Structure 1
């Protein structure tokens, strides 16, 4: 198991152990995940896919992880990462290789750079700011989504 996937298993445990604080959905089917990937034209890395399968969307406040989800009010429309990614491409000029995993007051738009997969298929996490020339990448935040999510969850539970 990769470090990203190991980290995600810890995130799942933390969310389950802190049901009084954490909130989450019911998970996504492989068909819904494939549809979200097709809509973005990008593939989820293993660590993010695992959490989407488990929860769909989840949060340990104040961190909210959009994942992939649907609501009765929006019907079949997919919300979360795929919607944020498509919206930020149009609204902010987000480069195509970036997948939005979070909007954060401190970091701005948190993205996975799908053009830089490691040997396990994980993508590095960056804080992206559209105001910065040459693609807007500000700083590397983590080596994988799993590591980023675990750090965020631990920080919010301490």
Structure 2
């Protein structure tokens, strides 16, 4: 179901090109390097969107994804950099992966310690103090699709 939601989100982004942006996507080598850097695998729904877009936004909802830029060379940016920075500077637990920022000082994270039978992780808000404080969704694909569908309707 979560992978299906990611496929629907890909369609939504493509159908709303005027209010969406994305990079060109990442290959397995880059995604594997990102997972090694974090010490945790991406859930299938998040991995699928990174394969397709690398990083993306739609109707004001910005996802970190994984990407590189010429200015930073081979450094993996987006989710990798944000997660490693928050681990180093604010004690983000190692099982969490940052996928967005909430605009209020918190991070939207995936909790890899709570994988379901499909390898999907629940979505939480983490606010730089201890454990995640609020569960936002059961899996990334469904959470991201719902968030983006609302944002497009409100745009």
TM range (shorter): over 0.9
Give the TM-score, by structure 2 length.
0.95
User: Displacement of 1:106 after TM fit?
Assistant: 4.5
Q: Work out the CA distance in 2 between the residues paired with 1:106 and 1:153.
A: 18
Q: Work out the CA distance in 2 between the residues paired with 1:53 and 1:28.
A: 5
Equivalent in 68, 84, 87 of residue 86 of structure 1? 84
Q: Work out the CA distance in 2 between the residues paired with 1:61 and 1:82.
A: 23
Equivalent in 3, 17, 20 of residue 19 of structure 1? 17
Report if aligned partners of 2:22, 2:55 keep a CA contact under 8 Å in 1.
Answer: yes
SS where residue 133 of structure 2 aligns?
Answer: strand
User: Displacement of 1:136 after TM fit?
Assistant: 2.9
Q: Give the helix-richer structure, 1 or 2.
A: 2
1:7 alignment partner in structure 2: 5
2:144 alignment partner in structure 1: 149
Equivalent in 101, 126, 139 of residue 134 of structure 2? 139
RMSD: 1.1
Report if aligned partners of 1:126, 1:139 keep a CA contact under 8 Å in 2.
Answer: yes
Could you list the runs of 5+ residues in structure 2 that have no partner in the other structure? none
Could you list the runs of 5+ residues in structure 1 that have no partner in the other structure? none
Q: Is 1:62 aligned to residue 60 of structure 2?
A: yes
Report if aligned partners of 2:43, 2:119 keep a CA contact under 8 Å in 1.
Answer: yes
Question: Runs in 1 of length 4+ with deviation above 3 angstroms?
Answer: none
Q: Work out the CA distance in 2 between the residues paired with 1:94 and 1:55.
A: 26
